[in-house]
Amino acid sequence: MIRRGAYKYICCDTEQLFDLQNDPHERNNLVDDPDAMQTLQAFRGEAAMRWDIAKITAQVITSQQRRRFIASAHKQGKTPLWDHQPIFDASQMYMRNHIDLDDLEASARFPRVKDEL
C-alpha cells in the first residue's frame, strides 16, 4: 500500500486506488477510471521500484500453502490448544471440597502420617 496526498494505492490480487479526500470510506475504486490513469501509472511505477511483486506473490502463496497444510494436520486427531496450559492439574492443586480434610492434613505433615486404623 502506498499513500500519497489524497490517494491510496493497494497492490495485491486486485489493484485498488482511492481518492480519500472525496471517498474517505474507500467505496469507489478508481482503477478503471480514465481520469485516474496517470495517478495509477505513477503508483504502479513506484510499486515496481519498491517491491519485487512476483517474488512477494510467490512467498505469499508458499506461506498460504504451509498454513493450509498445518491447519489440515491439526484437524487430524486431537486439536492443539494454543492457550497457556499449565503442566499441572490446577483443579487438584487447591482444596476445593474434593479433598477430605483428614487426608489434606495428613499429606501436609512430614514425615507423612500413615493411616493408623
DSSP string computed for 71-108: HHHHTSSSPPP-S---SS-GGGTS-SSSS-HHHHHHHH
pLDDT value of position 15: 94
47, burial (CB in 10 Å: exposed 0-12, middle 13-18, buried 19+) = middle
- List b or e across 80-101, with b for residues whose CB sees 16 or more CB atoms inside 10 angstroms: eeeeeeeeeeeeeeeeeeeeee
| Model confidence, pTM | 0.55
Domain boundaries, position 3: 1-84
pLDDT value of position 79: 75
| pLDDT tens, N- to C-terminus, the chain (117 residues) | 999 999 999 998 789 999 999 999 999 999 999 999 999 999 999 999 999 988 998 999 999 999 999 889 888 887 777 777 667 776 666 666 677 777 777 777 777 666 554
Q: Looking at the domain assignment, is residue 58 inside a domain? A: yes
The total domain count for the chain is 1
pLDDT value of position 5: 95
pLDDT value of position 97: 65
What lies within 8 Å, CB to CB, of 63 at 6+ separation is none
Q: Looking at the domain assignment, is residue 45 inside a domain? A: yes
Q: Which residue matches cell numbers 512476483?
A: 54
Name the amino acid, one letter, at 37. Answer: M
Q: Looking at the domain assignment, is residue 95 inside a domain? A: no
Q: Looking at the domain assignment, is residue 43 inside a domain? A: yes
